[in-house]
Structure 1
Amino acid sequence: MLKKLLLIVLLTSYTFAMPKEQIVEEMTKSIHKVIDILKNKQLPKKTKGEQIIKVMDSSFDYKIMAMLSLGKEWRTISNEQKINFAKAFENRLKESYIDKLDLYNNQEIKIDELEEVKARLILKTTLIGEKENFAIDYKFYENRKNKQWYIYDVSIAKVSIIQTYRNQFTQYLKNKSIDDLINYLNTKNNQA
């Protein structure tokens, strides 16, 4: 079930970095566009994934997501390792949700509210399922350079995707190196 929810979260994040006052409107439009792509039975799975990724790339800050997923380990690795890990992590996120495109089963997303918490924004939404509903929170931060808002994390039923990855990576790094983790992610990406 968590895999299915993760798929919906990533697929409906078909938006782009935007000013704060446009987040709700743009996310609403984008969610409808993605759902239309998903419902198009004429498009092959790979094409659907490519279309969604093309636009999704500009909505997420993958470097920040990679940094947060490593936690304090990020500060201890070289610049080259940071670049390699960030790319491997970004590719793993993309490959993971393309693999799960078949899990989409006509769910809908309802936008509830945009909440400001300190210097962050949380777009609260609800995934309307056949049997139950799930809260999905898109977490945004403002890039100080361009004054646009980017997604840096998503919580599904109060479980953070970034925290989940951080827990997995922390366990992995207890016995292996960051280079081993990068190689592992790249191997998983190449298998997809």
Structure 2
Amino acid sequence: MLNNQTLSFVFFIFTLLSASTYAAEDNAQAQRVIENSSNQIKQTLQQPAYQHDFNKATQFVDGVVTEFVDMPRISLLVLGKNIRKSTVEQRRRFIKEFKTLLVRTYTRAFLEYQDWSITFVPYHDNKSDRKTLVKSLIHQPGKQPIDASYRMVLSKNGEWKVYDIIIGGVSLVTTYRTSFNQKIAQSGSLESVIQDLVEKNSKATPEKEI
């Protein structure tokens, strides 16, 4: 299972997609969504006003992430079989708190990691015209490149949105699903997991791990 540092890195890579474009034509639009949104975050969070104000940085990231990440889909995929045991209100609250968790982790990671670059890897998939995979390599001086892939879906509004990230063959959705399944099994209910998220999110600071 991914540890907190690795999960932070997973979200950090969203922000550094500013390299040359090599994607195949069929997923070029999806790639541009990630690239443009990530460049926007990268350029903004480099400003001192955001570097020294975690809450301000988090609010900005939240707004941008909402545009290119399908949080409801990710959240429900993470819940998996537990959806059947949940109420509409519980699902709403879980999506809200899980998004807060991811945005805070994402923002913290960007503020911690600096010297990275990404190149896109050619990929062509004829299986679906509503889903695609954007593949890339993450580069850090003195280290081997890391494979990073972004599963994306075309929404009813015609917008490409991320619904999973795969780092070195490890799925973000699968990792969180396993973690939450274990917590639900231990506590006996989704409600206790939601309450735990609420508590951790309310206490979270840039120095504290979630």
Question: Under TM normalisation by the shorter chain, which class is it?
Answer: 0.7 to 0.9
Could you list the runs of 5+ residues in structure 1 that have no partner in the other structure? none
Give the match for residue 5 of structure 1. 9
Aligned length: 187
Cα distance change of structure 1 residues 113 and 173 upon mapping to structure 2, 3 Å threshold = same
- Paired with 1:12 and 1:71, the residues of 2 have a C-alpha distance of 30
Map 1:45-124; keep pairs closer than 5 Å.
45-46=53-54, 47-116=56-125, 118-119=127-128, 120-124=131-135
Q: Percent identity?
A: 22
Deviation at 1:129, TM superposition (A): 1.0
TM (norm. structure 2) is 0.78
Q: In the superposition, relative to structure 1, how do residues 114 and 59 fare at CA in structure 2: closer, same or farther (>3 Å)?
A: farther
Is 1:37 aligned to 2:44, yes or no?
yes
Question: In the superposition, relative to structure 1, how do residues 10 and 187 fare at CA in structure 2: closer, same or farther (>3 Å)?
Answer: farther
More strand by share: 1
1:159-191 Cα shifts (integer Å, max 9, x gaps) = 111100001011111121100000011111111
Q: 1:149 to 1:25 in 2, by over 3 A?
A: closer
Other structure's SS at 1:126 match: strand
Deviation of 1:42 (Å)? 5.6
- Gaps spanning 5+ residues in structure 2: where? 19-25, 205-210
Tell me the SS of whatever aligns to 1:116. Answer: coil
Deviation at 1:52, TM superposition (A): 2.9
TM-score by length of 1: 0.84
Root mean square deviation, CA, Å: 2.4
Deviation at 1:38, TM superposition (A): 4.4
Deviations 1:81-133 (A, max 9, x none): 11111111111111222233332122011122344363320000111112221
Cα pair distance change 1:164/1:13, threshold 3 Å: farther
- Cα distance in 1 for residues equivalent to 2:17 and 2:68: 7
